[in-house]
Structure 1
Amino acid sequence: MRIEEDKLRDYLKSKGLKFTPERQLILKEVFSIHRHFEVDDLFIRMRRRDNRISRSTLYRTLRLLVECGLLREVLFEERHSHYEHILGHEHHDHLLCLGCGQVIEFSNSSIEKLQSKVCGEYKFQPQGHRLQITGYCRKCR
């Protein structure tokens, strides 16, 4: 938890913002979740622990966590977003079920090689990518 806290503190300081007790509570709760999560999931978890943090504070803090490189926002169509930790996690892509909302993580070296080949053909220097495939999982077909 110390690495995440230091990274957020440094980022906030660079932006002239403070590391408030609310931000610290949100950071701690976010990194206690070991799966994709939505804002509503986080809000409910925090309320159950008697943390009276508003939804707007959650949204603003999640945005800061994304900006500083601790979280990634996974857009699920245009309906809602999921969040996931990226600090210390290997790169992966997502399959998003349109039926039940399940998010399946996967890695495929062939896809990674093809992306590198395409970037090379266009003399393009990649800085990252996001691959999300939408469809229906085994249960929803």
Structure 2
Amino acid sequence: MEEGLGVQESKTFESICNLLRNHSYKVTPQRQTILQTFMEHVDRHLSAEEVYMLVKHQNPEIGLATVYRTLDILAEIGVLLKNDFGDGRSRYEFSRKDEHHHHHHLICLSCGSVSEFDDDLLESLEAVITKRTQFKVMDHDLKFYGYCNKCEEAL
């Protein structure tokens, strides 16, 4: 993946448009609509299908394939992270290049909601791994599967 934008910069619509241009991608009206919609839902982990459902009301001629291509391009240039939460579809979120590690995800097995957990409690484990194996850990990805408060109450 090429170098992208930090979380603060990534929230600037024009910065992302400039990054697209710098990577020789056109900033089409469809891409602008998709990007703006994604930015309006920055706190969510959206799938291509969810983005499509949101954009088709504003711009009915946008196809699902255009949404997929745009999200893949934004992931390729480092604006978005593409996540697999085990539900058969990729979900996207803004990348945080300023983080040493990615935040962790809490995934509800019932409703499929995804929330974030920012505390990185694995730094001491990484130090032990490095000391014992001479393997320098650069990053990790941790997902917790369980039930959100709402679904837990319904069980």
Bin the TM-score by the shorter chain.
Answer: 0.7 to 0.9
Among 7, 19, 23, which residue is 1:7 paired with? 19
Other-structure match for 2:73 = 64
Q: TM-score scaled to structure 1, two decimals?
A: 0.80
Residues in 2 aligned to 1:69 and 1:37: alpha-carbon distance in whole angstroms: 16
Equivalent position amino acid for 2:27 in 1: F
Other-structure match for 2:141 = 130
Q: How does 1:44-83 map to 2 (within 5 A)?
A: 44-83=53-92
Q: How does 1:101-116 map to 2 (within 5 A)?
A: 101-116=112-127
Contact 2:33/2:59 (<8 A) preserved: no
Contact 1:5/1:27 (<8 A) preserved: no
Other-structure match for 2:107 = 96
Residues in 1 aligned to 2:30 and 2:71: alpha-carbon distance in whole angstroms: 12
Other-structure match for 1:32 = 40
Gaps of 5+ in 1: none
Gaps of 5+ in 2: 1-12
Residues in 2 aligned to 1:53 and 1:128: alpha-carbon distance in whole angstroms: 36
Residues in 2 aligned to 1:50 and 1:21: alpha-carbon distance in whole angstroms: 9
Q: 1:47 to 1:115 in 2, by over 3 A?
A: same
Q: TM-score scaled to structure 2, two decimals?
A: 0.74
Equivalent position amino acid for 1:70 in 2: V
Q: 1:19 to 1:125 in 2, by over 3 A?
A: farther
* Runs (4+) off by over 6 Å: none
Other-structure match for 2:10 = none
Contact 1:46/1:52 (<8 A) preserved: no
How big is the alpha-carbon RMSD for the aligned residues of Structure 1 and Structure 2? 2.3
Q: 1:31: how far off?
A: 1.6
